[in-house]
């Protein structure tokens, strides 16, 4: 029987041979631990699709559509040196409040978690950071939970000892997260984070790939500063040079990101820079290849 991940890769390769070439190359580097994780995740995901009357082929089409957007935005980025979206309101209309776009975007991103090596590497890094900081996490918040993969990971690590809140600006994204997480103790909040005023502070906040979606990332981190306990921690990820339909704020390098973090008042306890392409860092930076910055922040 053909492995589901192999089926996805071959199906993508048939429809987009160039991208297929890259996926096949990446696939050869995978170890058994990755294969098991991917298989468990895809099994869970297939059930979600089945409950919606869909198959994995639907998801593959979503992925290809997302890829078309990324490629188009990448070409524009190389031509202009800027992201195409300039304001949050523009993106809200174009993406977050557009069910058709959000649906293919979320399903596409879900598949990318196990098709793009740097997405998987970051998930592992998150896992290790959280495992090392598990003591004292009673109140956990995720901002911009997307498809729910990270909070699912957190629930697996922290277990039932904590309260989990998930805040997302998109009701469509929250709907997908609810169906993926399937854990009834998560409190889902449909809100702009700037309008979220809970009656508690959090021990741990995760905010994956949100800073590039706002006009003022310093203001965003300052908001998180008000939400985290004095001895709490914040895990963030954000990419450099990553054109996408909903990215607004362009970080050109890790220095830009560190400067925003420090300006907001946070300190950096730990950090990691993971490039999207398997190239030496200096070449990747010279050619404006995307890099994912991950940081563990404290007050």
Partner 1 sequence: MEKEKILETLTKIFRNILDDDSIQLVTETTANDIEGWDSLTHIQLVVAIERHFKIRFTSKEIQSWGNIGNLLDCVHTKIS
Which residues contact partner 1 by CB under 8 A? Answer: 16-19, 21-22, 64, 67-69, 71-72, 74-75, 78-79, 277, 289
Smallest distance, partner 1 to C-beta of residue 199, A = 45
Task: Please identify, using beta-carbon distances, which residue of 71 and 191 lies nearer to partner 1.
Answer: 71
Smallest distance, partner 1 to C-beta of residue 22, A = 5
* Phi, psi angles (nearest 5°) of residue 80: -110, -20
Task: Please identify, using beta-carbon distances, which residue of 116 and 183 lies nearer to partner 1.
Answer: 116
Helices 117-132 and 149-158 meet at what angle, rounded to 10?
30
Q: What is the DSSP letter of 160?
A: G
Which DSSP helix (H) or strand (E) runs through 123?
helix 117-132
Task: Please identify, using beta-carbon distances, which residue of 16 and 272 lies nearer to partner 1.
Answer: 16
Smallest distance, partner 1 to C-beta of residue 152, A = 29
Handedness of CA 95, 118, 33, 235 (dihedral sign): negative
Task: Please identify, using beta-carbon distances, which residue of 20 and 198 lies nearer to partner 1.
Answer: 20
Smallest distance, partner 1 to C-beta of residue 21, A = 5
Tokens of 126: 């998150």
Question: Which residues share a beta bridge with 95?
Answer: none
Task: Please identify, using beta-carbon distances, which residue of 63 and 202 lies nearer to partner 1.
Answer: 63
Smallest distance, partner 1 to C-beta of residue 78, A = 5
Task: Please identify, using beta-carbon distances, which residue of 52 and 57 lies nearer to partner 1.
Answer: 57
Smallest distance, partner 1 to C-beta of residue 79, A = 6
What is the distance between the alpha carbons of residues 170 and 93, in angstroms, rounded to a whole number? 11
What is the distance between the alpha carbons of residues 283 and 289, in angstroms, rounded to a whole number? 8
Task: Please identify, using beta-carbon distances, which residue of 254 and 289 lies nearer to partner 1.
Answer: 289
Handedness of CA 149, 151, 156, 157 (dihedral sign): positive
Is residue 88 within 8 A of residue 235, CB to CB? The reply is: no
**C-alpha closest to that of 204 among 243, 163, 244:** 163
What is the distance between the alpha carbons of residues 129 and 292, in angstroms, rounded to a whole number? 16
Smallest distance, partner 1 to C-beta of residue 69, A = 6
What is the distance between the alpha carbons of residues 253 and 242, in angstroms, rounded to a whole number? 11
What is the distance between the alpha carbons of residues 234 and 296, in angstroms, rounded to a whole number? 6
């Amino acid at each position: 029987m053909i492995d589901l991940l192999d089926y996805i890769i071959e199906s993508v390769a048939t429809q987009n041979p160039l991208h297929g070439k890259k996926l096949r190359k990446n696939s050869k580097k995978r170890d058994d631990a990755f294969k098991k994780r991917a298989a468990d995740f895809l099994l869970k995901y297939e059930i979600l699709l089945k409950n919606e009357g869909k198959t994995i082929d639907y998801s593959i089409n979503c992925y290809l559509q997302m890829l078309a957007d990324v490629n188009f935005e990448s070409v524009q980025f190389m031509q202009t040196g800027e992201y195409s979206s300039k304001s949050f309101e523009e993106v809200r209309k174009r993406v977050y409040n557009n069910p058709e776009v959000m649906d293919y975007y979320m399903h596409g991103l879900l598949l990318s978690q196990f098709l793009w090596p740097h997405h998987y590497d970051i998930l592992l890094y998150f896992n290790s950071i959280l495992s090392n900081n598990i003591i004292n996490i009673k109140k956990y918040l995720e901002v911009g939970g997307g498809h729910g993969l990270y909070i699912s990971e957190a629930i697996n690590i922290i277990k039932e000892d904590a309260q989990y809140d998930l805040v997302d600006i998109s009701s469509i994204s929250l709907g997908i997260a609810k169906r993926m997480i399937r854990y009834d103790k998560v409190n889902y909040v449909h809100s702009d984070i700037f309008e979220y005023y809970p009656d508690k502070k959090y021990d741990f906040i995760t905010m994956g790939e949100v800073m590039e979606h706002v006009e003022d990332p310093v203001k965003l981190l300052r908001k998180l500063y008000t939400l985290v306990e004095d001895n709490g921690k914040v895990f963030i990820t954000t990419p450099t040079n990553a054109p996408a339909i909903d990215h607004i704020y362009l970080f050109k390098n890790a220095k830009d990101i560190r400067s925003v973090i420090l300006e907001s008042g946070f300190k950096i306890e730990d950090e990691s820079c993971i490039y999207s392409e398997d190239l030496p860092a200096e070449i990747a930076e010279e050619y404006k290849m995307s890099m994912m910055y991950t940081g563990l922040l404290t007050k």
